[in-house]
Amino acid sequence: MRFADRIIYVTGAASGIGRAAAQRFAAEGGRVFAVDVNGDGLRETLALIDAAGGTTAGAADGGTCDVASPSSVQASIAAAVRRFGGLHVLVNAAGVGGFVRLEEIDEAEWMRVIGVNLNGPFHTTSAALPHLLQQRGASIVNVTSTAAMRGQAYCSHYAASKAGLLNFTRSIALEFATRGLRANCVSPGSVRSPLLRHFIPREDFENQLINYCRPPVPKQLFEPEQVAQVIAFLASDEAAMINGAALVADGGTLA
C-alpha cells in the first residue's frame, strides 16, 4: 500500500496506460482523480476501480478534461483538490499520434499532437505545481516513448512532441530538485493499447525505415499494466533518489 493517504491525478485514464495507472494507484491505496476527454471510457475506468473495491484511503473519482485546454485543466485540478484535499502525484499519460507521412501532416494535425502530448503536460504541471509543492515527496511522472530518444520515420509530429516532453521533464526535475518535487519519465516501447492501432504501417511505407524500431523479440508487445508498474515505482518513495530520469521500458529495443 505505497500510496495510502496520497492523492494522484492521472490523465488519459479512459484506456491504455492511463487506465492501468489509475487502477494500479487505487489498488495500492491511493485516492485517484482520473481524467480524460473520453467521458464514456473514463466512467468505465472508475467502474472498474469501484468493482475492484475502490481504494483503502477513499473512493476514486474524476471527470472529463481536455489537457490541450488550459481552462479545462485548471478547472479539473481545482476539482481534484476540492474532492480529496490536495495533490501528491501527477501522472501525464494522455497521448495521441500515429504513423503518417510528413507531407500529409497539416497545421491542424501538428497542433493536435503537440497540444495533447506536450502542451497538455505543461498545462497540468502549471496548474498542479502549487499543490504538489505543499506535499512531502511529491512526484510527476510523464509518459513519453522510445520515439523521444531517436528519429522515427512516419511520425515526426509524435516523436517531436515526446522529445519535447522528455526535456521538459528533465528541466523541471532540475528546477525543483531543492524544493522536494521529483519529475521523471517512463519511455515505453510497443504497448497493447488503443493508441497502437494508429501505428500500423501502411502499404506505401518503406518497411526498412521502420523495422529497426522493432524489439529484439519478434512480435513482443507489453501490456499497459506492465507500464503502470513502472509509473507507480517512479512515483513511490522507493524511487526517492531518481529524478530527471527517462526510464526505458521497451524490452531492449533501444539497446
Which structural domain, as residue segments, surrounds residue 71? 7-249
Catalytic residue of the set 9, 154, 158, 212: 158
CA atoms 153, 220, 184, 42: torsion sign: positive
Distance between CA atoms of 65 and 90, rounded to whole angstroms?
14
Give domain status of residue 61, yes or no.
Answer: yes
pLDDT at 2: 95
- DSSP SS3 for 4: coil
| The pLDDT of residue 57 | 45
User: Tell me, what's the pLDDT at 253?
Assistant: 83
| Predicted local distance difference test score (pLDDT) of residue 139 | 98
Query: Does residue 255 fall inside a structural domain?
Result: no
For 99-159, strand residue ranges (E) read 138-143
User: Using an 8 Å Cβ cutoff, are 174 and 235 in contact?
Assistant: no
CATH number at residue 88: 3.40.50.720
Indicate whether 140 belongs to any domain. yes
Total domains, the chain: 1
Instruction: Evaluate whether residue 1 is within a structural domain.
Output: no
Compute the distance between CA of residue 59 and CA of residue 50 in angstroms, rounded to an integer: 8
User: Which element (helix H / strand E) includes 188?
Assistant: strand 181-188
Instruction: Profile the chain (255 residues) by mean pLDDT over runs of 10 residues.
Output: 95 97 96 98 96 68 98 98 97 95 95 98 98 96 94 92 98 97 94 80 79 60 93 98 96 85
Q: Are 58 and 31 in contact (CB under 8 A)?
A: yes
pTM of the model: 0.93
Q: Is residue 2 part of a domain?
A: no
Known catalytic membership, residue 9: no
Q: Is residue 204 in a domain? A: yes
Gap between the Cα atoms of 84 and 105, Å rounded: 41
Whether 113 is covered by a domain: the verdict is yes
Can you read off the three cell numbers belonging to residue 72?
479545462
